[in-house]
Structure 1
């Protein structure tokens, strides 16, 4: 039998999709399922954005276009992202991509050689770990510690992990899966470490605008950071455009040129007519964005109230993203489970509630004793949130 490339053994995946498959299989047998597993959005893309996409198709924008993106979209992105973050950007800093994920891969291809180390958040988006290792790097996880407000980066552990072979840090402020948001002091500490050790920074800002209180800040706006930071931006979350696959990297010009060349090698260009929809999303009315945030805020409040009413479960109320990461240690003890995966599987069959666990977001680190699950409320209505988590409450309370 012909052999496949050895690097495939290092390739991970986004394991939340395996949870979705299990939920779909259970639903196909006629059971009710309450989908808290995927961070997709069950709110349609706004009509004015869809109309712009359809008009672009009708106008013939269905062929190739520039690898780094059409100039009109790059300009709109530079204006929008720059003003929101208080930084000066030009279109030359912007490279349009097919969503946010390609930014991770192209960043690592550009700044990391095989054998070099990259710091990444754990728990965190699983593609970080997957791509670092697939491309031959060494993935160095840094952890979070629980606080009354949610979670904070363990800066001492992160600092101790840096070696002369460390070249970059992936930083996901407004974090998936744990909804953690850095304080100003924490953000400044990360920036200081990056400058002290001459590290590149990938700032994953997928949820920069998905927030319910306060104002988002970017590490790129801190002194000395713009020239060493790549911002990952996506239209998926803010504009409910997950299936349109549209995003960009904001980078120093030298890196942006490399990203553009990688685009040409990988996919030639991002879908032309989708880019015109992106322009309308940025330049057109923002009322649908505000309406979606209102809906998500109501879901957050309903989910937090329901979770904190369940015996042995607790979660802080996050100010951003659309995820909860409750501690379920006592609930599992009450039910007699030691493996959170077993707890999740039985919960699906007993209550219909489908969710991811801590294990879906990176390898468990030494010393981790608490058990967590992730609940995404972006794809489930308020009434279903209350009913589903109510069933979970009844199941656990019966023990």
Structure 2
């Protein structure tokens, strides 16, 4: 009885260790390696391999292999099917959660032909189920991320068309691998009398819900902007509409109405980063704006600012992911942006590419959306 109790206690301790050691990341290959390593450490004298099926079907691939010190681990699938029983020195079980479809196969082999005890078989099956749950979770999360990313890319890739008198370029960069996509977007709306409205916004939070809310903001903004209200009144209307909807998340937003005929731009900000204007000589200047509260608070209080935007000037509007850094004060980051000196005559595409490069936006901690615009020079007769 004491021996059986000790064996049961040993098995429980092993299961507790498995919970802490298997599935420490959202990477399925890492999970498989943790499983194989755990089995080698806890089943004396065994080698372990984990073969995964692709989430779209197809042949098995060797995701992990581990062996005791001094032995060589197998590096390719050996063709054994899931669910095989013990065969003296070898045991294979499905990488699956109960009755779900197997995600692959876990195989342990013991040199010398010693059979696996019942407690060892139970430990193998339990850890295989544990790993399968983590792999399944990682794959479901990947599908959600992929859906959100495709939704957002589709939305920001097709902004409305400004008037031909305005040249634009945009860019969207998601944060690093395995970071949930956020609610950043940019937009252009064609207005009357040759004017265009430029928009950049950022819904708070990440994930599919933020991307869906971003689409709702974008749709509402198009409808309101079509009335040709000035930018600060567009923000006021959006704020009141969103404040009545408890489901929508707050968002920051910057609107710029560009009037090429007058050589001017009118700005209004709802809690957003200030824009920057690059002159024809490549020098930069931050536009000083009064900043109202984010959309969705119902507070309002948005004010317009109008300044010249002449031929040769390139306006850049962006989300906070471009400049915010965990180890740097935002004022310092904005000062770095204002200190940039680009090649003289840089147009919207060059400004977007160069600013993204110099600020290391491809490795930013948050999503980045940018939109640059320049009034097209009138042909001289």
Q: TM-score, normalised by structure 2?
A: 0.25
Q: TM-score, normalised by structure 1?
A: 0.24
Radius of gyration: which is bigger?
2
Please state which structure has a larger fraction of its residues in helix: 1
Q: Tell which has more relative contact order, 1 or 2 (C-alpha 8 A, sep 6+).
A: 1
Please state which structure has a larger fraction of its residues in strand: 2
